[in-house]
Amino acid sequence: MQNLKKYINEHKDRFINELIELLKFPSISADSTYKEAVIKTAKAVADRLDEAGCKKVELCKTEGYPIIYAEKIIDPKLPTVLVYGHYDVQPPDPINLWTSPPFEPVIKKTDLHPQGAIFARGACDDKGQMYMHVKALEYMISENELPCNVKFMIEGEEEVGSVNLSKYVKAHQKKLENDVILISDTGMIANDVPSITTGLRGLSYVEVEVTGPNRDLHSGLYGGAVANPINVLTKMIASLHNENNHITIPGFYDHVEELSKGEREQMGKAPFSLNDYKDALAIEAVYGEKGYTTNERNSIRPTLDVNGIWGGYTGEGAKTVIASKAYAKISMRLVPHQNWETITTLFKNHFENIAPKGVTVKVIPHHGGQAYVTPIDSIGYQAASKAYEAAFGKTPIPQRSGGSIPIVALFEDVLKSKTILMGFGLDSDAIHSPNEHFGIWNYLKGIETIPLFYKYFSELSK
Ligand code: BES
Ligand code: MN
Ligand code: MN
């Protein structure tokens, strides 16, 4: 692949402009107002795959947003790589905190991205990272360097739980047969500290509703004499952690994978500065489960967090009122061997149990998924490691991430293959937050590393 760097250098402006065009679509899967834009994005992605040289490009209808399937089969005897990614994005709000509009991409320099970064919703998660694969494929096809068969499967509902993709995968096992699954939808430690994600946390997402009196009440006439749903809800939520920040739901830790001392020591060797971490977030201290380091807390340990809480009067001024209802959305991040459906049931039973008399509690389960860990002795991991070594000049560090891509565990169950998570984003790229961005250097480095993965994967598979 002698031409790889030259090709990227010659075409980089076009690569950047094509991504910018893709980022202009507000493909927000959670908000049905954007339905047309989401569908248009799917069509644009399909067109780009077609232009890159894929042979069979399909926009597959689902009960939700379309899945793009495309392939380039050069020889059935060669190994097949299945690329997964998503073209949907998170809602951009709070919109007033963006320094430029979320769907009008602009390139700005930052401390960590001196060559500039593209600022737009989806720049890193996941349009930018998904599109690196399209451009890597373009290079391999146009320069006659494609050493494997390739299948692409790009969905538009990752940010809302991938429900239709699960059905699609189960229904098309033969079509999706592959030797390895390749995903760029995670991050790495730093541009000069490449790492490969070897684990994802699972997830159980629930909504709770606490109902007190049958109507909103005057907080003077009734205050002190009836259960206030907001007071009760916050008290119930507070009781879900004890003084050591352990989660108090009975049975919650029953199957949690405990890492050996050796494994934890190994993890602790990854470069990490607690001071930089605190500075970047403008916090005086970190916070979390007793007995674990920051990196352990956000990767190998399960969590419970309120993602949203509402009820009562939140408008201008004051209104003296006891609301009839209070609500919260709660996510639990899970680790290997915790079953997300079991955890959801444990939560529901416990939350209903601790409700005091005078209120009723409803627990509404949303979506979830299992955690995932990939071994580092597989051909796929070895190929990825060699690819980073060649592109970055450094051996990448294996590292478990705290985020979730719930479909990955299902891929392993149904398609029986391992997933390699080659992410090129940084934690500071603000995914899901205002001012999301993706470094130009990272984008181009990804396009350079991916073809090398194909090369080493085909060589190691022989
Ligand atoms: N790409 C992220 C997940 C991610 C980011 C994993 C960085 C590791 C490092 C993905 O799009 C995402 O946001 N997943 C959701 C779960 C989903 C069910 C909404 C998450 O982790 O909150
Ligand atoms: Mn993503
Ligand atoms: Mn996301």
Query: Based on the number of CB atoms within 10 Å of its own CB, is 14 exposed (0-12), middle (13-18) or buried (19 or more)?
Result: exposed
Q: By alpha-carbon position, which residue is closest to atom 7 of ligand 1?
A: 186
Average pLDDT over residues 450-461: 98
- Fold agreement between 4-200+371-460 and 202-256+302-369: no
Give the ranges where 305-368 is alpha helix by DSSP (H): 340-353
Residue 408: its H or E element: helix 407-415
Q: What is the pLDDT of residue 416?
A: 97
Q: What is the pLDDT of residue 295?
A: 96
Q: What is the pLDDT of residues 236-286, one digit of tens each?
A: 999 999 999 999 999 999 999 999 999 999 999 999 999 999 999 999 999
Ligand nearest to the CA of 436: 3
> What are 365's strand-pairing partners?
206
User: Ligand 1: which atom is nearest the Cα of residue 369?
Assistant: 18
Q: By alpha-carbon position, which residue is closest to atom 1 of ligand 1?
A: 185
432 — pLDDT class (breaks 50, 70, 90): very high
88 touches ligand 1 (CB under 6 Å): no
186 touches ligand 1 (CB under 6 Å): yes
What size, in residues, is the chain? 462
Average pLDDT over residues 188-205: 97
Q: By alpha-carbon position, which residue is closest to atom 4 of ligand 1?
A: 403
Q: What is the pLDDT of residues 92-108, one digit of tens each?
A: 999 999 999 999 999 99
Of 165, 157, 121, 180, nearest in space to 421 by CA? 180
Q: What is the pLDDT of residue 62?
A: 98
155 touches ligand 1 (CB under 6 Å): no
How many C-beta neighbours within 10 Å does residue 218 have? 10
Of 150, 140, 157, nearest in space to 181 by CA? 150
Of 66, 48, 70, nearest in space to 58 by CA? 70
Ligand 2: centre distance to CA 125 (Å): 5
Q: What is the dihedral sign for C-alpha 97, 100, 101, 107?
A: negative
158 touches ligand 1 (CB under 6 Å): yes
We find that the CATH architecture of domain 202-256+302-369 is 2-Layer Sandwich (3.30)
Q: What is the pLDDT of residues 70-90, one digit of tens each?
A: 999 999 999 999 999 999 999
| Residue 89 near residue 127 (C-beta atoms within 8 A) | yes
Q: What percent of the chain shows pLDDT beyond 70? A: 100
User: Ligand 1: which atom is nearest the Cα of residue 160?
Assistant: 19
Rounded CA separation 241/245 (Å): 5
Query: Based on the number of CB atoms within 10 Å of its own CB, is 396 exposed (0-12), middle (13-18) or buried (19 or more)?
Result: buried
Q: What percent of the chain shows pLDDT beyond 90? A: 99
3-class DSSP state for residue 173? Answer: coil
pTM, entire model: 0.94
Record: fold of 4-200+371-460: Aminopeptidase (3.40.630)
224 — pLDDT class (breaks 50, 70, 90): very high
18 — pLDDT class (breaks 50, 70, 90): very high
Ligand nearest to the CA of 203: 1
How many C-beta neighbours within 10 Å does residue 76 have? 7
Q: Would you state the torsion angle of the CA atoms of residues 400, 404, 405, 406, taken in this order, to the nearest 10 degrees?
A: 120
Domain boundaries, the chain: 4-200+371-460, 202-256+302-369
133 — pLDDT class (breaks 50, 70, 90): very high
Q: What is the pLDDT of residue 429?
A: 98
| Burial profile 438-457: b = 16 or more Cβ within 10 angstroms, e = fewer | bbbbbbbbbbbbbbbbbbbb
